[in-house]
Amino acid sequence: MNPVDWSAETWGAIGSGATALAFFVSAWVLSLQLKDRRRTPAEGVTVWVDDRYTQDEDRELVRSVSVTLKNAGAHPVFDVQVVVGYGHFGSAVTSVGPLAVPTQPVLPPGAEWTWPIKDLLGSLEVEGRLVAEVSFRDAANRWWLRDFGGQLQRWRGRMRRSVTKLDDGDVTLEKFGPVSWENPVSVAAAFWSVLGDPVGPDRTDRLTSLCTPESLPGWGDFDGIAELLEGHGLASFPAYPAPRVAYVKFPEDVDHALIVSGPTLVAAKIMTLQHRNDLEPAGWRVFAIGSPVPPEAIPGPPSV
């Protein structure tokens, strides 16, 4: 067996190898530290749905459902968009939009905000458990997504899987959720459909029944609204800026219906609807079309 040559050259080779190894280890550790540092502002941002039953004074079960958005980190995040969905464990999640959660330009550190959504679930046919996901941007302009499963990931495909085109043969009111006065998109679709009917008293009566009484003086014969929505489509992603107020989008330059299942930037006319319990049947009514009407500018129902 040849003895090891412990000469200066051998020690130099070992030293060079050890230095190179130390360099690669240091570079690897540094890359992990940089990756962790990039994730740090995003790690504290979470969202969840609280769906529970409690007993009231008469020992009747009362359901409460809310969405909570929290930033437990030390840095603000920006352009925060929450999407609610439902599904069974291990299956795909069906997105139903933000419901009552408005887009937040800034979510400051330490913020924890909650929005009730139970009243909005009447327009949905929910199967399985309710979940939520949140997308946002950090101060370095990196987009992040905490998905329906709670996993945090870089969101390089922002606005993905948001719009689905429907062929003409597939367009039915059922595509936009339950056909009900409790579904604002269903009411918007009905209004849009009746606008295409022949002009006459029957058309006017049907459109009038779909509107709030306070808005009727501004509609006229509705012909101007038909022209306003010419060349528009109907999106299925309503927003709720305040309790009992909904916005439904009519995207411009669209020759087909759209199923919108995520945050999407499109030029659109906005239909503002108000939920009215004082009308028969109770449910959503159209208040205006064009630009979104601020909730505080919408007259409330007359006091009894």
CATH number of the domain to which 102 belongs: 2.60.40
Tell me what the pLDDT averaged over the chain comes to. 81
The whole-number pLDDT of residue 68 equals 97
Q: Quick one: three-class SS letters along the chain?
A: CCCCCCCHHHHHHHHHHHHHHHHHHHHHHHHHHHHHHHHHHHHCEEEEEEEEEEECCCCCEEEEEEEEEEECCCCCEEEEEEEEEEECCCCCCEEEECECCCCEEEECCCCEEEEECHHHHHHCCCCCEEEEEEEEECCCCCEEEECCCCCEEECCCCCCCCEEEECHHHCCHHHHCCCCCCCHHHHHHHHHHHHCCCCCHHHHHHHHHCECHHHHHHCCCCHHHHHHCCCCCCCCCCEEEECCEEEEEEECCCCCEEEECCCCCCCEEEEEEEEECCCCCCEEEEEEEECCCCHHHCCCCCCC
Q: How confident is the model at residue 39 (pLDDT cuts 50, 70, 90)?
A: low
Same domain, 64 and 110: yes
For the segment 110-115, the average pLDDT, to the nearest whole number, is 96
Q: Which of 154, 178, 210 is the last residue of a domain?
A: 154
* pLDDT at res. 32: 46
Looking at the domain assignment, is residue 302 inside a domain?
no
**Tell me: the pLDDT tens digits for 265-295?**
567 899 999 999 899 998 899 999 999 999 9
Do 145 and 189 belong together in one domain? no
Q: What is the pLDDT of residues 129-163, one digit of tens each?
A: 999 999 999 999 999 999 999 999 998 755 444 55
pLDDT, greater one: 112 or 239: 112
Quote the number of domains for the chain. Answer: 2
22 in a structural domain: no
Listed range (26-30, 123-127, 248-252) with the worst mean pLDDT: 26-30
Q: Does the structure show a pLDDT above 60 at 175?
A: no
At residue 64 the predicted structure's pLDDT band, cuts being 50, 70 and 90, is: very high
Q: What is the pLDDT of residue 120?
A: 81
With respect to residue 72, please indicate whether it lies within any of the assigned structural domains.
yes
Q: What is the pLDDT of residue 262?
A: 53
Top-confidence residue, 215 or 9: 215
* Listed residues 127, 154, 181: the one ending a domain: 154
Q: Which of 154, 182, 201 marks a domain boundary?
A: 154
Same domain? For 176 and 270 the reply is: yes
Specify the pLDDT at position 207.
Answer: 96
| Domain span holding position 94 | 43-154
pTM metric for this prediction:
0.64
- On whether both 224 and 148 belong to a single domain, the answer is no
**pLDDT at 109 > cutoff 90:** yes
pLDDT over 90 for what percent of the chain?
42
pLDDT band at 231; cut points 50, 70, 90: confident
Residue with more model confidence, 190 or 233: 190
| 172 and 109 within one domain | no
Selected residue with higher pLDDT from 204 and 235: 204
